[in-house]
Structure 1
Amino acid sequence: MDGLPTHGGSALPPGVLAGPQAVVVDRLLAAGAMVAGKTATAEFAASAPGPTRNPHHPGHTPGGSSSGSAAAVAAGLVPLAIGTQTVGSVIRPAAYCGVVGFRPTYGRIPSAGVLPNAPSLDTLGVFTADLAGVALAAPLLCDDWRREPEAGVPVLGVPDGTYLEHAEPAALSAFEEWLERLERAGLTVCRVPLFADFAEVSRQLQAVNRFELARSHADWFARFGRLYRPETVASIRVGQGIAPEDRAAALEFRERLRERVAAATAGAGVDLWLAPSATGGAPEGLHTTGNAVMSSPWSFLGLPALSLPAGRTATGLPLGLQVVGAAGGDERLLAQAAVLQRALGLAEA
């Protein structure tokens, strides 16, 4: 934002990172928003954690990379905060902090003026205390927002297979309880085999992510590499070793994956996919931002997703329910998520 220095969670001189005010800030100001300030992020939206603590359990991570944004909303400091998601940096911290996180379809909120991580994946998103807050903000921030007609009752898909096996037993148990409640409320839940090649999906996503991270930082890293934190250095070094043709192959893999997921979605008549927002509650300590694996396939595909607060672990850590819609179907996702929230008795939770 104009008048506020940009650090990107790093020790680099802020003047090096200065640039025009982000379009998303322009839109907020045009809508009458009052900017309280900037929040902390993991270094350059990668994996080196910032200083932010989880407001529910200060000894635990708030998630990341958009850690300060999620924590600020959870602590009641602001009603709305902006974050970015390259892999899991909105959905996961929203779940860890017990707030609503919205990651729209890739490119739906312009990224102009935002420091890049991996431009083929980077997506702006928002954190709010409840779904009503997202419904208020999304039309102001997203391009070409349309008025959604009556949502109707969605058919829900559960992606069976190795993907769900990455969630911890407690998170899976809570997820199954939510599914049972939805079925008791009269909604149809379909279990559909999906991501049978999940390990390959993850590998190809990382190829794009690391390659583009290294290219985004090529100039800065060459000049200020000594100021980068070890976790970011390691990611950049990996990216420097990835050939352009490998990144191109990964993007071609993504197009084939999109076709397969679209076919599975249509074949099963699924309106929304459901999954845990994170592998479990927020990990203890501030040395990690947690595991982004539950968001990774949806982020790779560029699909819109929400994290709704959905209960707590036995130790009181928030859990989230991830709701994923069709590409470009952000309006329907929000409308149908409200149906789910009412069915679960989570309205305004």
Structure 2
Amino acid sequence: MLMASPRSLVADVSALRAGALDLGRHLADTCDRIDAAQPALHAFVPEADRRGRLAAALSAEQTRTPLAGAMVGVKDIIRVAGLTMTAGSQLPPELFAGPQADVVNRLVAGGALVAGATVTAEFAVAAPGPTTNPHDRRHTPGGSSSGSAAAVAAGLVPLAIGTQTVGSVIRPAAYCGVVGFRPTYGSLPVDGVVANAPSLDTLGVFTADVASAVLAAQVLLEGLEVPLSSRPRLLVATGRYLDQADPVARSAFDAQVGRLRAAGFSVSSADPVDDLDALTRHLLVINRYELAQVHAEWFSAFADLYRPQTAEAILDGLATSAEVYAEARQYQRAFTERLTASLAAHDADAWLTPAATGTAPRGLESTGNPAMNVPFSVAGAPAITIPAGRLGRLPLGLQLAGRPGDDASLLGGALTVEAALSG
């Protein structure tokens, strides 16, 4: 059953501001959509009185704010006042109690209403939640921000927040056929967020279109001014990195690159990774070592409550020496410099790649392969995926990745790429 029907955040905000969409009706319709989709989609964590909580949060001033009362889903590793965080786990929820996350404070200050917590893989690692793909329930929505991507793709909410350590915004957005934007590492505070690997963890947003991602980013990233008509010079990532894409997905990507060339974009190519094996090895060291440090006390007390995939990753991290970890962090710093320098050397503004190795895999046992996201996550570079066709009923996405700190230019460039692909 096809459940994909995303809603534009820009359109919802415009309608709410103009009074064409009543805020109370918007609240009720959102809850109706969540209730209707929940038995098949499982995008949201069940909540006893969602309607009552939201009704209590309504304000007469809401529609005069930047987000005008638009509904947002928040990944269940991010603290929200009034919601019980589980982090997709069986551990006692009181372990995760504390003040509301700053990212949620910014959304609420901007006028958003939190529709609820969205399902995550356990501790945003690898053990999937129950969420299905709105385009085909037999396929994964991707992870670990599975509920956030599926909730936006199904039109339950026009905006959702996720996190990305390696590929957990860009990949599920691609699998679900929506836009996923992951800002530069460190540009959004992660207080109130259960960490996976602090040297990699980054918050991100899911929306139906790039203009909506820009609106959300302008609320979350203070002082962001996005150029509306910038045409980026694109650098196609090649070599062993690109060879990781499935042949059919690679063919579709080549066709999209051809469309951009025909539309007048400057497109060159380069290999972003001089040693793919070293990059993958060092990423795994950083991720698992830091995961083990985050979970050391909890795992010691509640090891039997962890799912096998998470426990294995933690045990691997606990067995990793501080010296090996330090070497990996040194590699990360050097790689970031090299990747950024490659853009300058080729007079380019953004890398252009497939957003995932292919379409969403069949089955819910895995959240998919993050290989296309690895270089840019290691470097902390801003990245965005734009829906780019489909294979059968399953979506594909294009990934743009820019220079760390140059989020505004990346978003502006994504607007023009999206327009070219939809024309």
TM-score bucket of the superposed structures, by smaller chain: over 0.9
Work out which of the residue numbers 176, 193, 210 in structure 2 matches 1:114: 193
Alignment partner, residue 55 of structure 2? none
Work out which of the residue numbers 342, 346, 349 in structure 1 matches 2:419: 342
Q: How does 1:181-260 map to 2 (within 5 A)?
A: 181-260=259-338
**SS in structure 2 of the partner of residue 52 of structure 1:** coil
How far apart, CA to CA, are the structure 1 residues paired with 2:353 and 2:347?
A: 17
Alignment check: 8 A CA contact 1:274 1:321 kept: yes
How far apart, CA to CA, are the structure 2 residues paired with 1:149 and 1:312?
A: 29
Q: How many angstroms does 1:216 deviate by?
A: 0.4
How far apart, CA to CA, are the structure 2 residues paired with 1:252 and 1:190?
A: 29
Alignment check: 8 A CA contact 1:162 1:196 kept: no
Q: How many angstroms does 1:151 deviate by?
A: 4.7
CA offset digits 1:184-238 (Å, max 9, x no partner): 1111110113202011111101110000000000011011110000000110011
CA offset digits 1:276-311 (Å, max 9, x no partner): 011100011110000111101100000000010110
CA offset digits 1:169-189 (Å, max 9, x no partner): 111011000000011111111
Alignment check: 8 A CA contact 2:177 2:387 kept: yes
**SS in structure 2 of the partner of residue 176 of structure 1:** helix
Alignment partner, residue 297 of structure 1? 375
How far apart, CA to CA, are the structure 1 residues paired with 2:421 and 2:381?
A: 23
How far apart, CA to CA, are the structure 1 residues paired with 2:160 and 2:397?
A: 18
How far apart, CA to CA, are the structure 2 residues paired with 1:151 and 1:258?
A: 28
Q: Runs of at least 4 residues of structure 1 off by over 2 A?
A: 148-153
Work out which of the residue numbers 129, 134, 137 in structure 2 matches 1:58: 137
Alignment partner, residue 408 of structure 2? 331
How far apart, CA to CA, are the structure 2 residues paired with 1:134 and 1:116?
A: 24
Q: How does 1:1-349 map to 2 (within 5 A)?
A: 1-142=80-221, 144-149=222-227, 151-313=229-391, 315-345=392-422
Identity of aligned residues (%): 55
How far apart, CA to CA, are the structure 1 residues paired with 2:195 and 2:390?
A: 34
Alignment check: 8 A CA contact 2:217 2:224 kept: no
How far apart, CA to CA, are the structure 2 residues paired with 1:65 and 1:25?
A: 19
How many pairs align? 344
Alignment check: 8 A CA contact 2:197 2:290 kept: yes
How far apart, CA to CA, are the structure 1 residues paired with 2:337 and 2:94?
A: 43
CA RMSD of aligned residues (A): 1.0
Question: Which region of structure 1 is more displaced relative to structure 2, 337-346 or 293-302?
Answer: 337-346
Which stretches in structure 1 are left out of the alignment for 5+ residues?
A: none
How far apart, CA to CA, are the structure 2 residues paired with 1:280 and 1:28?
A: 33
Alignment check: 8 A CA contact 2:89 2:122 kept: yes
